[in-house]
Amino acid sequence: MDIFAKCYEFTIAKEAMKGGYYPYFIPLDDTEGTEVVINGRRLIMIGSNNYLGLTVDPRVRQAAMDAVAKYGTSCTGSRFLNGTLKLHVELERQLADFVGKEAALVFSTGYQTNLGTISALVGRGDVVITDREDHASIIDACRLSFGEMRRFQHNDVQSLERVLASCDEKQGKLVVVDGVYSMGGDLAPLPEICDVCERYGARLMVDDAHGIGVLGEGRGTAAHFGVTHRVDLIMGTFSKSFASLGGFIAGDEQVIHYIQHMARSLIFSASAPAANVAAALAALQIMRDEPERRERLLRIAERMRNEYRRMGLNIGNTQTPIIPILIGDDNATIWTWKALFEAGVYTNCVIPPGVPPGKSLLRTSYMATHTDEQMDRVLEAFAKVGKQTGLIP
């Protein structure tokens, strides 16, 4: 048996490419944040995680360029050995202060943050318990750990309690949830989850990649619910509101110190380049200084949620700038994506395995820098395409 046989048999993507309805890996000629250019055509971007619109902010860009001029393009080493700059340490200090924790640790990507943190903490004899809709990086991290992985029904606190009650009280227990779920845009019920974790002696980690910069005055989902002091670990990424690349974990100083010395994805990976770190620092300062960006983002999101519901579109339980258009059928989802693309609106087409079978959707997300006129055009496109495809009665 040739191990490459599966590669040669994988033809569905190439068939979609030939048919002109392949929705992935689309090269962008140019991007100005709220709009992109593809093959000379300008489209409104509502598929980005650039929530505060800072990727094109001149202050963030200048900070990155200044860092390249001073430090070069790469640290050429891991944080553990020769790759820690004073910039990394300063960003960690400011992040810990921002999210309300004693210490923070910066990784090169958000994915590596989850891999390193969970696999370092969950050892033999321990159990890690995850929500069924947790991000793939959390699932992969659990697989890399030497502990047992168990799951509970999405946002079902009673299901979580049943899992915890069935664990051996001698086991170390880590519960990991998303603060904001990246496909549904709904929030984890953190106050109730904290209650259950405390009752069973479990520690709680919140992946707040989509909450930092957006909720709780920018400090995330735990701050939004007023439970920062009850959440043990807060994880965030720089590829969303921070307009950069990287990730961090924040918590008690001794716990972060342990992760720093045990996380393989930190120790055996090159550190985040100075440009990425400087961009994240600049974005963090803007988050603090300009709350009006976040307020504008939340107003746009509320308007779009209301308008989509008024049209008759199914957007689920979202409470955030992530607004899914729930369709269900894979083919209908792809054709709706294609029709919107042709109408000048860029959305994200999500079908299995990105979501469970039968739950295909278009993922839309919004930026503080979107204009009212752009949102008018998006709504016009959805109204037209929705009627053409039967999504709107």
Residues labelled as active-site residues: 182, 210, 240
Give rounded-to-5 percent helix, strand, coil for the chain.
45, 20, 35
Helices of type H across the chain: 5-9, 12-19, 58-71, 86-99, 110-121, 136-144, 157-166, 190-200, 221-225, 253-262, 264-267, 274-289, 291-311, 330-342, 372-389
**CA quadruple 3, 4, 8, 13: dihedral positive or negative?**
positive
Closest CA to 164 of 132, 130, 137: 130
Tokens of 300: 């746009």
Total residues found in the chain within this entry: 393
Sequence-separated (6 or more) residues with CB below 8 Å from residue 104? 91, 92, 93, 95, 96, 248, 249, 250, 256
Q: Which long-range contacts (CB under 8 A, 24 or more apart) does 160-166 make?
A: 160/129, 160/193, 160/196, 161/196, 161/199, 161/200, 163/129, 164/129, 164/196, 164/197, 164/199, 164/200, 164/202, 165/200
CA distance readout (Å), 87 to 69, 84, 165, 200, 262: 14, 8, 44, 39, 22
Q: Are 175 and 127 in contact (CB under 8 A)?
A: no
Q: What span, in angstroms and rounded, lies between the C-alpha atoms of 328 and 359?
A: 4
Chain centre distance of CA 387: 31
Angle between helices 274-289 and 86-99 (to 10 degrees): 30
Sequence-separated (6 or more) residues with CB below 8 Å from residue 293? 52, 53, 286, 287, 368
Q: End-to-end CA distance of the chain, in Å?
A: 51
Q: Is 181 helix (H, G, I), strand (E, B) or coil?
A: coil
Closest CA to 322 of 81, 9, 48: 48
